[in-house]
Structure 1
Amino acid sequence: MLRAARSLVRLTRAARVLGKHDALFPLELRAEMPAILLALMPLAKIRFPWEAEPEMRSGDAGERLATALAALGPAYIKLGQFLATRPDIIGTDLASDLSSLQDKLPPFPMAEARAIIEESIGKPVEDLFSSLSEPIAAASIAQVHKARTKAVREGEEERDVAVKVLRPGIEQRFAGDLESFFWAAERIERNYAPARRLRPIEIVETLADSVKLEMDLRLEAAAMSEMAENTAKDSGFRVPQIDWERTSRRAMTMEWIDGIPASDRAALVAAGHDMARLGRQVIQSFLLHAMRDGFFHADMHQGNLFIDTDGRLTAVDFGIMGRIDPNERRFMAEILYGLVTRNYVRVAEVHFEAGYVPHSKSVHAFAQALRSVAEPIFGRPAREVSMGKLLAQLFQVTEQFDMRTRPELILLQKTMVVVEGVARHFDPDHNIWESAEPVLKSWMMDKMGPEARIEEAAAGAMQLGRVMSHLPEVLDRAERTARLLAESVDEEGVRIHPSSADAIARAQEARFSRRQPLIWLAIGAVGALLLANLF
């Protein structure tokens, strides 16, 4: 009851802020709204005596909504960014408007930042840094300062670093807003059947999980460290180094990046960077990280990318990361490669193999639907083809074929749309298919070619060998257990007869004897598979 009351209060406040920005019942969307929402419109227009006269709002529905969400604070900014990844829920146009939502807020005072650093790291700021600047960037969860480390050991050099500090009280504010989101998602899923396919509760859970990771800067530092190891040999991508000695839960210190922001295209052109190459690099880096490592930067917009003097992409802000397991990587690689090569039947088959589409549906009907979406984009100029719009059209097919939302793939889908936008920002004529094809083809050859199948078969044989090596020990343990049972007494004082114990042991041996031919048959099958792959 208290949870419901708290959630209602918070959501009512949010509704009134949205109403003030004409973003709660926008005129442009009223034709699509349920009758119950339209009936509540008069309540949203009530103005209390202490409230100021509402300002006239300009812009379309998406722009007004983005402004309102920014006014509501960090959790709603994140919600807006998250909804921008789901055109299947809110529509393509609205998702496009929300994708421009900037994660910017006024900075908090310098005195509070210093206090957080000292309390979190456990040392005075003067012992950690010889200088600490005013905030140079402020976002919904944290703000960033430029600093210079203070040498504390003989021979140690001072270095320029970036210090990220969490906002005061941000954990409590997010916890309250997320509680409201969960409460609303539960009501929607319980009372509005068409929304269940979209799994609103799991969507909020995905949002909550990503936010929890952002609330502990040690986890972000660990993500940076892991990606730095993964990409150490990648020539066109780099990750700043972490200063672990000056990093804690609420403050993180990393290498300072001297580079041109990816958002400043004019400066990049003036510096002589190859913009077409940068467009290819951002797409190929993302696909390489996702397919090769199963671990990718899930917030790769222009504000989180810099270009260093060597032309390398340098990523910052690793608060939102994505992981996909080997099976999902294979499915996604085959789906994308199938779209690139226009093999729609194979793309459809992979959807069924992965369980994305119920087996009660027709593979060929689904392939036909995919063809209707993809064929119109082929042969058109690259600047007219949008990966974001293509994904949005694919999402529209999901309802027809009863496809359920895959929360584990939401971040991947979102990042694909974002990096396409970055590539087009670098090079308006960028062709995402041409950039993606060599990475996908190489990955599939490595993971699905003959050599990969041999490795899988060998791994299976090794696993079987390990099982076989433990069989004598298992039999010995079974015999000892039977003898112990013969000597034991249960709670009611009933002793198991020795002849029964012997019968148990003989049964164990007989069972193994019957299974022996099957085990050797399995070993023979693995050997035949290896030979078939080799020859």
Structure 2
Amino acid sequence: MRGPHNIWRLVVTGATLERTGAMGVVLDAFDAPKSIRVLARLLGFPFQWLGYKGDPNMPPVTRAITALGPAYIKFGQILSTRPDVVGDEMAVQLRVLQDKLPPFSIARAKAAIEEELGLPVAEIFDDFSEPIAAASIAQVHRARLRGTGEDLAIKVLRPGIERAFRKDVDAFYFAATMIEILAPFSRRLRPKDVITHFDGVVQGELDLRLESSAASEFAANTANDQGFRLPKIMWNLSARRVMTMTWAEGSNLGDNAALDAAGHDRKELGERVLRLFLNHALRDGYFHADMHQGNLKVAPNGDVIAFDFGIMGHIDEYTRRVYAEILYGFIRRDYKRVAEVHFEAGYVPADRDVDEFARALRAVGEPIFGMDATQISMGRVLAYLFEVTERFGMETRTELILLQRTMVVVEGVARSLHPHVNIWEVAQPVVEDYIKGSIGPKAVIRDLTNTLRVVARFGPRLPGLVEAALIRQSQVDVTPPKRRFWRYVLVGVIGLLLGASGVVAISTLF
């Protein structure tokens, strides 16, 4: 890491917030304590002349974020879906960060396409449009495929975006290191691991071949989901910096007036978005992790259409079961079980008191069930849960960061469609179905079958292992009775595994 450069970058960040007038707005939005306000002003005010001016036609916060660059823009995109955190006015201002940023020229876009695909744009596309959407990392053009007339969307990375993002991420690493040094209590949160996770996600978004692959896998997983579809990837017209897909016609999910004019039920849409996310996360373990309004449309027939697959989340089956049991426990108000799951998964140190932890969790969950739907916020629940787990020594789970963040974003999207969407009522049937399928008797049988399939794959090696074990034993002159007994047990177990693997292998043929 380049220390002087990173220090300079963080100074410029504070100076830009001060110069654009965003510092006070941000501090007010987060209800910062007086000590933080004083410190922020002391660091920002003397250096404000070093900050970027930004676009004076934009509101202060949006002006500062766009001036600071892509990593900051990503953060602003997340906040735009959380009016309960930053307020309605700022949330509206920040939504322009989703797909309405200043574009780069059509000439530079065509040059990038020609360099990646090796053909002139005019030989591939007709009616190549000016940019129709511009976000932090790429922009989108609309065109027709020459010869067939098929409507397409072409995504092109911003020139120099890799280098710009690298500079910001370096500064984030530096800030995380400084936080761990100056605030030792923060090490429990593993800030450097969080930035590493964020860095990995962003690197995947900067290679559109990986995004095309993610879209293809996501489409296969969700092919049977009612009321949900994805554009088709045109693999022959996609590369590292260019991604081509079929055009998705519809109303932006953030445009309530257009949705109303088209006759869509916004409450049902909000509930469906929540259900889809939970199904993808729990059922598939692979979910769209950037589900803000700018990446979702509603087709004329009511289908929700998702695009922009640069950030996808993956969680293994064991973690899914843990997460589902935690949600299920909260839904059923079984706080003892929620506490036990935390201990069983190793999330909370074993030397802590499980009953005391359960009582602390009750203080998180019980207030929810007396609230009106408009007052229930997953963001607030996660904040309370964070406080409780911090007291009990739980470390930040990096594998759950993206899942938790996306759940907060999706809830914000649902609430923007209809403020009375109740996340717990929507989540309950999805979580219950998953619990029945993943923890009940059928799941036990499935797990055993999968284990035997693994053993079957090693079947050809098992006779050799048995023979080697028998040879080693035969070379011992005197075998104590106890040792001889366990040798027979070992051979018997291996024999059973051989038999079971054979049965499984045969069953796969029919």
Query: For this structure pair, what is the TM-score category when the shorter chain's length is used for normalisation?
Result: 0.7 to 0.9
CA deviation map 1:470-529 (0-9, x unaligned): 3431355689xxxxxxxxxxxxxxxxxxxxxx98971499789843314536988999xx
Instruction: Write the letter of the residue equivalent to 1:194.
Output: F
How many residue pairs align between the two structures?
Answer: 488
The 3 A distance-change label for structure 1 pair 377 and 211 is same
CA distance in 2, matches of 1:326, 1:453: 13
Q: Does 1:506 align with 2:502?
A: no
Secondary structure in structure 2 of the residue aligned to 1:133 = coil
Structure 2 partner of 1:499: none
Residue 199 of structure 1: CA displacement?
A: 1.2
Aligned with 1:268: secondary structure? helix
Using a 3 Å threshold, how does the CA distance of structure 1 residues 403 and 67 change in structure 2: closer, same or farther? farther
Aligned residue in 1 for 2:286: 295
Q: 1:71 to 1:466 in 2, by over 3 A?
A: closer
Q: Which moved more, 1:504-513 or 1:142-151?
A: 504-513
Note if 1:29 corresponds to 2:32. yes
Note closer, same or farther for the CA distance 1:145–1:120 as it changes in structure 2 (3 Å cut). same
Task: Give the letter aligned to residue 105 of structure 1.
Answer: L
Moved more, 72-81 or 253-262: 72-81
Deviates more, 1:18-27 or 1:192-201: 18-27
Contact 1:457 1:526 in 2 (8 A): no
- When Rg is computed on C-alpha atoms for both structures, the one with the higher figure is 1
| Residue 113 (1) aligns with residue 114 (2) | no
8 Å contact from structure 2 (residues 326, 341) kept in 1? yes
Is residue 2:171 matched to residue 1:180? yes
Q: Which runs of 5+ in 2 are unaligned?
A: 500-510
Q: Does 2:378 correspond to 1:377?
A: no
Residues 162 and 253 of structure 1 are in contact (CA less than 8 Å); yes or no, is this contact kept in structure 2? yes
Alpha-carbon distance change, 22 to 219 in structure 1, aligned in 2, over 3 angstroms? same
Residue 68 of structure 1, aligned match among 52, 64, 69: 64
Residue from 154, 166, 175 that aligns with 2:157? 166
Moved more, 345-354 or 7-16: 7-16
Task: Give % identity.
Answer: 46
Matches within 5 A, 1:27-426: 29=32, 31-33=34-36, 37=39, 41=42, 44-46=45-47, 65=61, 67-81=63-77, 93=85, 101-102=94-95, 103=97, 104-151=100-147, 157-426=148-417
CA offset digits 1:121-144 (Å, max 9, x no partner): 111001110120000111111111
Higher mean displacement: 453-462 or 131-140: 453-462
Return the alpha-carbon distance in structure 2 between the equivalents of residues 57 and 135 of structure 1: 20
Report the AA paired with residue 32 of structure 2.
L
- For the residue of structure 2 that corresponds to 1:182, the secondary structure is helix
Q: TM-score, normalised by structure 1?
A: 0.82
Amino acid at match of 1:20: R
The answer as to whether partners of 1:19 and 1:45 remain within 8 angstroms in 2 is no
In the TM superposition, 1:471-490 aligns within 5 A as 471-474=462-465, 476=467
Moved more, 234-243 or 366-375: 366-375
Output the aligned Cα RMSD: 3.5
Give the match for residue 508 of structure 2: none
Q: Deviations over 1:194-241 (max 9, x none)?
A: 211121111111111111011111111111111110011111111110
* C-alpha contact 1:20 1:54 (8 A) present in aligned 2: no
**Residue 4 of structure 1: how far off its partner (Å):** 1.2
Structure 1 portions without partners, runs of 5+: 152-156, 480-501, 528-535
The answer to whether the 8 A contact 2:12-2:51 is kept is no
CA distance, structure 1, for counterparts of residue 343 and residue 494 of structure 2: 29
Tell me the TM-score normalized by structure 2: 0.86
Counterparts in 2 of 1:454 and 1:438: CA distance versus 1, 3 Å: same
Confirm or deny: 8 A CA contact 1:300 1:415 kept in the other structure.
yes
Counterpart contact for 1:80–1:98, Cα < 8 Å: no
From 514, 517, 527, the equivalent of 2:489 is 517
- C-alpha deviation, 1:45, in angstroms: 2.1
Cα distance, 1:67–1:336 mapped onto 2, change above 3 Å:
farther
Q: Is the 8 A contact 1:22 1:57 kept in 2?
A: no
Once residues 251 and 477 of structure 2 are traced to their aligned partners in structure 1, the CA distance between those partners, rounded to angstroms, is 71
Matched residue SS, 1:11: helix
1:177 and 1:514 map into 2 onto residues whose CA distance is 60
The Cα shift of 1:455 comes to 2.1
Query: Which residue identity is paired with 2:105?
Result: P
CA contact (8 A) 1:461 1:523 kept: no
- Give the CA deviation at 1:312: 1.1
